[in-house]
Structure 1
Amino acid sequence: MGSVRVRPQTGKLFLDFRYRGRRCREQTALDDTPANRKKARQVLERIEAEITLGSFDYARYFPESANIALFASTNGSTPDAGSTPAFEDFAETWFGEMRIQWRKSHADTVRLTLNKYLLPAFGEQEVGHITKADILSFRSTLAKVSGQKGEGLSATRINHIMTPLRMILNEAANRFEFTSPYHGIQSLRVPRTDVEPFTLDEVKAIIDHVRPDFRPYFVVRFFTGLRTSEVHGLQWQFVDFARRELLVRNALVKGELVYTKNDGSFRTVDLSEMVCDALREQYKATGKHAFVFCGRDGAPLNANNLTNRVWHPLLRHLGLRRRRPYQTRHTAATMWLAAGESPEWIARQMGHTTTEMLFRVYSRYVRNLTRQDGSAMERLLQANFGETQGTASRGAEEPAVSMEQEVSDDM
């Protein structure tokens, strides 16, 4: 079934139909108006009827078309028996089939990649006619695209853009039985980035100087290793004070509560006494709401607002190097390693299925690997933070100041 479509660049209508196994797109001089769409649709219906009856004369309808010579050269036979759909059509089919497997945030990212990069570059090409040279040329153009900060796209970003292209072409190759042009193309090498954990003294300074209503929040971040999305999606129903455990079941991604990042992230985190005390203090302020860390209205915190209005100003005040809040997760891992906890136990706390990433990312922090129950970390905290933190929180009679104070209402 053909369609009447419009070219955004010109605003003119064109006819999109299939003839002898090949997709044909023929431009018209008609502007995109309801009346012209109706007229073009009538012409398309006549064309498809004639194709069905075998009486279609390409030159009569499109005397200037380059397709006339192509169809004439086949002497009435079907040209290119191995013809394949246009990239745009197959990409839409692939996206519709795959999106049910993805989080909404990931589907939105893939959709943006298709619309912004892949469809403009490959939309009208048949998937079976895209070559390796086309792919490499496209990738080279991405390196010249400016990012949000005016710099060129990073190797990581380019690889993320190329991933849907690779998946689409490989799937098309399987379905239409041709060799994928992506075969042999390696991802760009990404420079290894070193983690930037805080020292124990820096952690102590942050916790001692942060606003009182945010102290429990940062204690939890520094000493549980939760991801930003996990701590912002944490709900009281998953905090077990009796067992001193925290169940990671959800994550807050772009304002939506979703399933954890992967099966390994669906985990149980052991809590030190210091973290338990911080959560008891937090319960006085937000216990009536579903989310552990939220504003007065019960809505979860906005990560960007918190970063810009609390986190970065605090680092500047303390004279500490500017770092993302995500470094609290790396800090937890390095402190556990420094305390001598078992890598297997740490991997479970972090939500890793194996210790491979632990050794690859934090290898220079591995020391005496003897403990496996969290007690070494407990002793480290008591030695550096003392008993005053816990007793102070247990002795407080008034609920903590609302976490929404001085932070915008849309957190």
Structure 2
Amino acid sequence: MGSIRERRGLLFMDFRYRGVRCREYTKLSDKPANRKRLQAILERVEAEILLGTFDYAAYFANSDRVAQFRDHDERRVQFQSDTPTFSDFSELWFSENEIGWKHSYRITLRSSLDKHVLPAFGAQPVSHITRADILAFRANLAKIPRNDGSTGLSPARINTILVPLRLALSEAADRFEFESPYKNIKSLKVPKTKVDPFTLDEVLRILTHVRDDFRPYLTTRFYTAMRTGECHGLKWKYVDFDRREIMVRESLVAGEMTDTKTDSSTRDIPMSQPVFDALKEQHKRTGDREWVFCNGEGKQLQINNVSNRVWKPLLRLLDLPYRRLYQTRHTAATLWLAAGENVLWVSEMMGHADPHVTLQKYAKYAPDLTRRDGSAFEALLAQKTGNQRQDDQQGEDS
């Protein structure tokens, strides 16, 4: 990330462009107002570099670097006939492969290409994109300002953005017989998903104070562990009151109905009594509609609307720390385990392919079940030491 620095009382900008460290000096003295002014210019420069629209001469017309980078661009143009540009090839690659992608995956790849990858690499021939270009691009993604005032996209988001770049370059390398510059570039390490469930007392408070029209919705989310897309995409034809089951068969993703996330996500969830009662109540409201949970027009719920208009105000009212609605899923898992339900059954209800994933993620929230709190060892010691004291006492008495 670039910086504003001082030399002999005058300020200069220090940043990197195309792998080159650039220092552009000014005649501005080192004062807070001047630093603020230059910092704003530097942020625009780095944003344009990231988007691939930066024109060195437009900012530093008298700099010696202008000619250097102009020569670089001219040389690059000379090579454009060797292989297609990344923009042209990525469109071909996308059109050839999208038939095999889920709707949600297609939307994610398209967004990453249009918003980030194409502005940075679109004009470059695929065979002339270098490892250094990719690493610099990835580093810049970690500097993008965020809406909450922080800086830098998350490692998970950066890895997602890089997926179409990696896949398209790999395909281009095979077709045009060059080594992919992405070779040996590993994905960033992603922190484990934060599990921050609600306690049963908190769940009961929430369900007591939530709006009547959203009580069945939150009851279902807290006591079934359904994902947001599964819940918002739930249709009445998948609710079987006779068998007291919810059949998870589809999911609403990016406004379109699609298959469940994985094969193991297709499952039948038994209704507990609170869920059964909640859905019976919901049936009185929306039983004549296709969707179980919908707005007044009969359309599917939007997570942002639910979060901003119902969920966040409710947590503020109850003075509870903010947690995403998705924590209702984690809450269901921890309540089941704490109640003593078999981990294999919990894993199946969660839609996990491997029970070890369930245990690894939620074990610490169910100490009585998993015995990972040291209580089993304490009990063993108490038993042994108690028996030893009893033997010693008997020896003294004899």
Task: Return the offset for 1:351.
Answer: 1.1
Aligned equivalents of 2:90, 2:318: Cα separation in 1:
50
**1:158 lines up with 2:158 in the alignment:** yes
Who is 1:186 aligned against? 186
- The structure where helix makes up a greater share of residues is 2
Q: Percent of aligned positions with the same letter in both sequences?
A: 54
- Secondary structure of 1:258's counterpart equals strand
Mean CA deviation greater in 93-102 or 236-245: 93-102
Who is 1:137 aligned against? 136
Aligned partners of 1:155 and 1:190 also within 8 Å: yes
Aligned equivalents of 1:325, 1:67: Cα separation in 2:
49
Who is 1:314 aligned against? 314
Mean CA deviation greater in 329-338 or 146-155: 146-155
Task: Return the offset for 1:66.
Answer: 6.2
Aligned equivalents of 1:319, 1:310: Cα separation in 2:
14
Who is 1:107 aligned against? 106
| 1:118-154 deviation per Cα after TM superposition (whole angstroms, max 9, x unaligned) | 1222223222232212211211122222233342222
The total of aligned residue pairs comes to 299
Task: Return the offset for 1:356.
Answer: 3.0
Mean CA deviation greater in 163-172 or 231-240: 163-172
Alpha carbons of 1:199 and 1:116: their partners in 2 closer, same or farther (altered >3 Å)? same
Who is 1:262 aligned against? 262
| 1:34-66 deviation per Cα after TM superposition (whole angstroms, max 9, x unaligned) | xxxxxxxxxxxxxxxxxxxxxxxxxxxxxxx86
Aligned equivalents of 1:286, 1:121: Cα separation in 2:
48
Task: Return the offset for 1:281.
Answer: 1.4
Who is 2:83 aligned against? 84
- Secondary structure of 1:246's counterpart equals strand
Who is 2:294 aligned against? 294
Aligned equivalents of 2:156, 2:313: Cα separation in 1:
29
Alpha carbons of 1:156 and 1:279: their partners in 2 closer, same or farther (altered >3 Å)? same
Who is 1:359 aligned against? 359
Task: Return the offset for 1:253.
Answer: 2.2
Task: Return the offset for 1:369.
Answer: 5.0
Aligned partners of 1:343 and 1:369 also within 8 Å: no
Task: Return the offset for 1:219.
Answer: 1.0
Task: Return the offset for 1:226.
Answer: 0.5
Aligned partners of 1:340 and 1:367 also within 8 Å: no
**1:338 lines up with 2:341 in the alignment:** no
Aligned partners of 1:337 and 1:367 also within 8 Å: no
Alpha carbons of 1:112 and 1:295: their partners in 2 closer, same or farther (altered >3 Å)? closer
Task: Return the offset for 1:67.
Answer: 9.4
Who is 2:25 aligned against? none
Who is 2:220 aligned against? 220
Aligned partners of 1:291 and 1:298 also within 8 Å: yes
Letter in 2 for 1:172: A
Letter in 2 for 1:135: I
Aligned equivalents of 2:286, 2:217: Cα separation in 1:
12
Aligned equivalents of 1:294, 1:141: Cα separation in 2:
41
Mean CA deviation greater in 300-309 or 282-291: 300-309
Who is 2:65 aligned against? none
**1:281 lines up with 2:281 in the alignment:** yes
Who is 2:22 aligned against? none
- Secondary structure of 1:301's counterpart equals coil
Aligned equivalents of 1:9, 1:184: Cα separation in 2:
28
Letter in 2 for 1:149: D
- Secondary structure of 2:153's counterpart equals coil
Aligned equivalents of 1:255, 1:369: Cα separation in 2:
39
Unaligned 5+ runs, structure 2: 1-51, 55-73, 371-398
Unaligned 5+ runs, structure 1: 1-7, 11-64, 72-78, 371-411
Aligned equivalents of 1:267, 1:193: Cα separation in 2:
23
Aligned equivalents of 1:86, 1:295: Cα separation in 2:
46
| 1:305-346 deviation per Cα after TM superposition (whole angstroms, max 9, x unaligned) | 221111111111111111111110000011111112122211
TM normalised by structure 1 equals 0.67
- Secondary structure of 1:190's counterpart equals coil
TM normalised by structure 2 equals 0.69
Who is 2:327 aligned against? 327
Who is 2:120 aligned against? 121
- Secondary structure of 2:164's counterpart equals helix
Aligned partners of 2:53 and 2:119 also within 8 Å: no
Who is 1:204 aligned against? 204
Aligned partners of 1:224 and 1:269 also within 8 Å: yes
